Amino acid sequence: MNFKKTAFATSFAAAVFAFAAPVQAQAPAGYPAGYQQLIDAAKKEGKLVIYGATDSKAAEPLISDFKTMYPGITVEYNDMNSTEVYNRFFSENAAGGDTADVLWSSAMDLQMKLAAGGYALPYKSVEAAKIPGWAVWKDMAYGTTFEPAAFVYNKRLLKPEEVPQTHADFVRIIQQPKFQDKVTTYDIEKSGVGFMFMTQDARAYPQYKQLEQAFGAARVRVQSSTGTMLERISSGENLIGYNVMGSYALVRAKNDPSLGVVLPKDYTLIISRVQFINKMSKHPNASKLWIDYMLSHRGQTVIANASKLYAIRADVTGETTSTDLIKMVGEKNIRPLPVSPAVGEYLDPALRLAFLKEWKATAGKK
């Protein structure tokens, strides 16, 4: 298995933020009086290992700011795709070897399979009340972002009438000869978030069978990463993409005149990157600090303005927030997926096999 590994060493954050680092880390204002004990215990541990399915470029501002708050804690961030996060953690855990303290991934179903399967450490975050109730599961798993599934298209090569506004529009448009071999989406066998998006479409969209057939007619091209899809749409190799991570697409479109982004007007799926602490974590106190930081107003402000992943807290302002996204789409059309084992229904081996078999027979045929 190949995966990228990016470790942000202590020296990097120290060099950049030394001027701002306090002599001793203090509990944030308004936190319980005993929180300083947690900070002191975390500093003794001195390390935090995170497996994440978030690009290093987006994760780095969070890690750097966290280290500004809590100097002396080295953060090792391992960047991989969502399926690799699950597989690597699961295999390392089974072998009894070193593994992550915290898992943070956009594949909500895989995250919840692990959390509900006994791999998560219970911890009631001091910030839990500040995020939506659907984003918390049993004080173990927490949603951190509010990110849409989008249609992304090449603005130079599509006419206005060829830009879909709803799922029904998408089904109709991609069956035109112009779109054959020019439509892309995730490889749902290799991409955890891609599989989850598509299974949720199967539940949310009454004409899902027609969508699969339209993919087949267009001879859809599949990719395992958002970045690859955006590159190929921008270049014109593909004309349109389906269920692309809207957080990445909307940010890139601001600087790429070739890219257009549509948040479907009939319904827009919203995912939240889920984090939990490994029950067998070697650095549980540092992990708890990270969970609280990610959900805090400060951490969410970094998410909205530096990481640009769409903050989940309603009281955060910035470039990418849930409040702004809801205004863009309309509250009645927003479909947030709950942080719950229910999102993993199709991970049942028999259901997954049947779903993939049908996909290959219809959408996946060339």
Single pTM value for the model: 0.87
- Angstrom CA distances, 309 to 2, 246, 272, stand at 25, 9, 10
- Transcribe 237-284 into DSSP letters: SSSEEEEEEHHHHHHHHTT-TTEEEE--SS-EEEE--EEEEBTT-S-H
Query: Which residue in this structure is represented by tokens 């855990």?
Result: 93
R_g of the chain computed on alpha carbons: 21
Q: Which two tokens stand for residue 52?
A: 């994440």
Over residues 259-268, the pLDDT tens digits come to 999 999 999 9
Output the pLDDT for position 169: 98
pLDDT of residue 366: 55
Please give the residue that has the higher pLDDT: either 9 or 273: 273
- In this structure, are strands 141-143 and 136-137 parallel, antiparallel, or unpaired? antiparallel
Of the candidates 324, 174, 337, the one whose C-alpha atom is nearest the C-alpha of residue 263 is 324
Cα angle value 196/202/360 (rounded, 5°): 80
- pLDDT of 6 > 80? The answer is no
Give the length of the chain: 366
What domains can be seen in the chain, in order of their start residue? 6-146+272-329 (3.40.190.10), 147-270+341-361 (3.40.190.10)
- pLDDT class for 365, splitting at 50, 70, 90? low
Whether residue 111 has pLDDT greater than 90:
yes
How far is Cα 184 from Cα 251, in angstroms, rounded to an integer?
19
Q: How confident is the model over 320-343, as a mean pLDDT?
A: 92
**Mean pLDDT score, 55-68:** 95
Query: Does residue 143 have a pLDDT over 90?
Result: yes
Share of the chain above pLDDT 90, in %: 84
Confidence band of 3 (pLDDT split at 50, 70, 90): very low
* High-pLDDT (> 70) share of the chain, %: 93
Q: Please say whether the beta carbons of 341 and 349 come within 8 A.
A: no
Res 10: pLDDT: 34
pLDDT tens-place string over residues 231-248: 999 999 999 999 999 999
DSSP structure class, residue 163: S
* Mean predicted confidence (pLDDT) in 305-314: 94
Integer Cα distance of 113 and 343 in angstroms: 9
- The pair of structure tokens assigned to 78 is 């391992």
Q: What is the pLDDT of residues 146-177, one digit of tens each?
A: 999 999 999 999 999 999 999 999 999 999 99
Is residue 18 pLDDT above 60, yes or no?
no
Average the pLDDT over 214-236 and give the result: 95
User: Is the Cβ–Cβ distance between 239 and 158 less than 8 Å?
Assistant: yes
pLDDT at 17: 38
d(Cα 229, Cα 220) in Å, to the nearest integer?
12
Mean pLDDT of all residues belonging to the chain? 91
Q: For residue 27, name the pLDDT band (cuts at 50, 70, 90).
A: confident
CA 339 from centroid of its chain's CA atoms: 12
3-state secondary structure of 290: helix
**295 to each of 66, 125, 300, 304, 336, how far by Cα in Å?**
12, 8, 6, 12, 17
For residues 282-287, give the mean pLDDT: 98
Question: Which pLDDT score is estimated for 12?
Answer: 33
